[in-house]
């Protein structure tokens, strides 16, 4: 089962992308593809510059979109990094535990060298 936090983050990202696409489609009059492209390019901070809002509302909406979108995008990236870090820690703990068991088993098999 997918954890609720992951679902929330994915839905938030999709909502930001969808709302940005719809906003730019109707405010700037761009095609759906251009509006989507501008939304993703802006959200990812790539900023090719091939599309630029021409209307005052489009420019104000872009600044709001940048702040809101980057916040959601940053949380998504942070959560992905945290998940990756947790998995690495779990794997390291598993390896250390296995190494300890292996060392203990080797000690039990070795003959006493004190005699």
pTM above 0.95? no
Of 34, 13, 9, 7, nearest to 22 by C-alpha is 34
DSSP assigned state of 47: -
Of 71, 70, 65, 80, nearest to 5 by C-alpha is 80
- pLDDT reading at 32 higher than 60: yes
CATH class of domain segment(s) 4-105: mainly alpha
Q: What is the spatial distance between Cα 63 and Cα 48, in angstroms, rounded to a whole number?
A: 16
Interval 49-99: pLDDT, tens: 888 999 999 999 999 999 998 888 888 888 888 888 988 988 888 888 888
* pLDDT for position 114: 56
Return the domain boundaries, the chain: 4-105
Q: What is the spatial distance between Cα 78 and Cα 88, in angstroms, rounded to a whole number?
A: 15
């Amino acid at each position: 089962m997918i954890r609720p936090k992951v679902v929330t983050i994915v839905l938030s990202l999709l909502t930001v992308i969808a709302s940005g696409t719809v906003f730019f489609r109707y405010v700037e009059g761009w095609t759906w593809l251009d509006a989507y492209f501008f939304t993703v390019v802006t959200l990812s901070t790539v900023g090719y510059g091939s599309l630029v809002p021409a209307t005052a509302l489009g420019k104000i909406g872009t600044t709001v979109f940048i702040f809101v979108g980057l916040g959601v995008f940053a949380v998504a990236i942070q959560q992905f990094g945290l998940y990756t870090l947790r998995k690495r820690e779990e794997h390291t703990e598993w390896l250390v535990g296995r190494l300890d068991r292996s060392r203990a088993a080797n000690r039990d098999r070795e003959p006493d060298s004190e005699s």
